[in-house]
Structure 1
Amino acid sequence: MALLDVQEMTQYFGGLCAVSEFSVSLEEGQLAALIGPNGAGKTTVFNLVSGFYKPTRGEILFNGESIKGLKPHQVTSKGIARTFQNIRLWFDMTVLDNIRIAQYHALGYGLLDCFLRTPRYMRREREIEDHAMEVLTRLGLREVAGEFPKNLPYGVQRLVEIARALSIRPALLMLDEPAAGLNSADVEGLIKLITDIHKDFGLTIWMIEHQMDVVMSLCSWIKVIDFGATIAEGTPTDIQNNPEVIKAYLGDDTI
């Protein structure tokens, strides 16, 4: 059984078909990419899977269970975490608090526990902070735990967003253009980081990315969409040599 199984997912916005009969099957432990030109519908696909939109038609199964129509926090609780094309951090909260708050969908205590600071509350808060520090340490961010994201370089902010996603212990990590805005040195570091995350955390990773060196270095399976419709899918070699992909996305030259 696939970890994520999307079946003929279609999304209309008024009379515009943004995604047409999109299907994908991701196995546990797979590292795959969704690519296409600007406006192809890639982020819309991610928004549909992660609960920000409800598909007009089609089905979304995660671990064999339908998650179609669930709210984002409900999708998160099932084990799906994501980052965003435009960084979405709480810039006036510390890095540590950004990581801690991501775990609050599964607190395990109530409002009364909070007011009375019961042993259950104290124990759970320690667990949340310990786990947050563990994730920050594994991503090399321990030293900036007390900093505000707004004071950090852009590349570090990207890492904080990935750390926040990892803190919920997901089975599927969805990365929306993680290399956007990074310089060449940061991109090399990102490739290594994603490789290490994939190995160390045992995750399925699905990414949207425009930088082909990142996609070709990391992904074993690639799906290409254009104007909301699938035009190709296969291995990196298949995609490199597909004339429809070259025409629609890569231009007249091969990668």
Structure 2
Amino acid sequence: MSLLEIKNMSQNFGGLRALSEFSIRFERGELMALIGPNGAGKTTVFNLTSGFYKPTEGEILFKGQNTVGLKPHQVTGLGIARTFQNIRLWHDMTVLDNIRISQHHNLGYSLWDSLIRSGKYLGAEARIEKTAMEILEALDLLEYREELPKNLPYGIQRKVEIARALSIKPDLLLLDEPAAGLNSADVQELIRLIRWIHKEFDITIWMIEHQMAVVMTLCSRIKVIDFGKTIAEGTPEQIQNNPDVIKAYLGDENI
């Protein structure tokens, strides 16, 4: 059974067809990219996969379960985590608390437990704290645990967002333009980090990315969409030499 299988997924916004008959299948352990020009429908795909939108048509099967109609926190609970193109951290909470709060879907205690500080509450909070500290240590972020994200360099903020996604121990990690806004040194660090996460956490990764150096270095398979339609899928070499891709995306001097 595939980890993720999307079948003929389409999305309409009013009279606009943002995505048309999108299909893809993921096996466990893959590291794949979804690319295309701005406005091609890439983030729409991620929003549908993570439960932020309900597709107009089609199926989304994750570990064999149809997730269409589930809320984002329910999809997260099944094992899909994501980051966003524009970093979405709680900037007035510490880095540690950002990681801790990401596990809210799996608390396992009631409001009453929290009010009386029951054994269930104390045990769950200890587990959440342990997980958060382990993730921060694994990503070399422990020194920032009491810092507010808004006071940190952009590259570190991006790393914290990835750490927050990893803290739920997902089977599938969606990275939406992780290199956006990074300088060349930070991009090289990001490539190293993603490669390490893929291996160390034995996790499946699906990324949207405009920087071809990141995509071509990391991904074994690439899918390309344009105006909501799939125009190519294959290895980095096949994509680089595909005339439709060159015309629609790689040949655009502004990208």
Match of 1:38 in 2: 38
Please state if 1:217 is matched with 2:217: yes
State the secondary structure of the residue aligned to 1:10. strand
Instruction: After TM superposition, list the pairs within 5 Å mapping 1:102-117 onto structure 2.
Output: 102-117=102-117
Match of 2:86 in 1: 86
Q: How does 1:157-196 map to 2 (within 5 A)?
A: 157-196=157-196
Q: Which residue of 2 aligns with 1:154?
A: 154
RMSD after superposition = 1.1
Identity among equivalent positions (%) equals 71
- Partners in 2 of 1:206 and 1:52 — Cα distance? 17
The aligned residue for residue 99 of structure 2 is: 99
The runs of 4+ residues in structure 1 deviating greater than 3 Å are none
Q: Corresponding residue for 1:134?
A: 134
Mapped to 2, the partners of 1:103 and 1:20 lie a distance apart of 34
Query: What is the CA–CA distance in structure 2 between the aligned matches of 1:223 and 1:69, rounded to whole Å?
Result: 25
Aligned counterparts of 2:141 and 2:109: Cα–Cα separation in 1: 28
SS of structure 1 residue aligned to 2:25: strand
SS of 2:2's equivalent in the other structure is coil
Question: What is the SS of the residue equivalent to 1:207?
Answer: strand
**Which residues of structure 2 form unaligned runs of 5+?**
none
Give me the TM-score of the superposition, normalised by structure 1.
0.98
**3-state SS of 2:216 partner:** helix
Change (3 A) 1:252 1:126: closer
2:222 aligns to what SS in structure 1?
strand
1:123 positional shift: 1.3
Amino acid at match of 2:6: V
1:180-215 per-residue CA deviation (whole Å, 9 max, x = no partner) reads 000000000000000000000010000000000000
Question: How far did residue 118 of structure 1 move?
Answer: 1.2
Gaps of 5+ in 1: none
Provide the TM-score with structure 2 as the length reference. Answer: 0.98
What is the CA–CA distance in structure 2 between the aligned matches of 1:89 and 1:246, rounded to whole Å? Answer: 35
Q: Aligned-pair distance for 1:252?
A: 6.6
The whole-number CA distance in structure 1 between the counterparts of 2:5 and 2:68 is 11
Tell me, in whole angstroms, the C-alpha distance in 2 between the residues paired with 1:2 and 1:241.
28
Distance 2:74 2:252 in 1: 43
Matched to 2:80, the amino acid is I
The corresponding residue for 1:143 is: 143
The equivalent of 1:118 in structure 2 is: 118
What is the distance in 2 between the residues matched to 1:96 and 1:123?
A: 18
For residues 243 and 31 of structure 1, the distance between their equivalents in structure 2, rounded to whole angstroms, comes to: 24
Secondary structure class of the residue paired with 2:58: strand
Distance, in Å, in 1 between the alignment partners of 2:132 and 2:44 is 30
Residue aligning to 2:203: 203
Q: Distance in 2 between matches of 1:236 and 1:250?
A: 12
- What amino acid does structure 1 have at the position aligned with 2:239? I
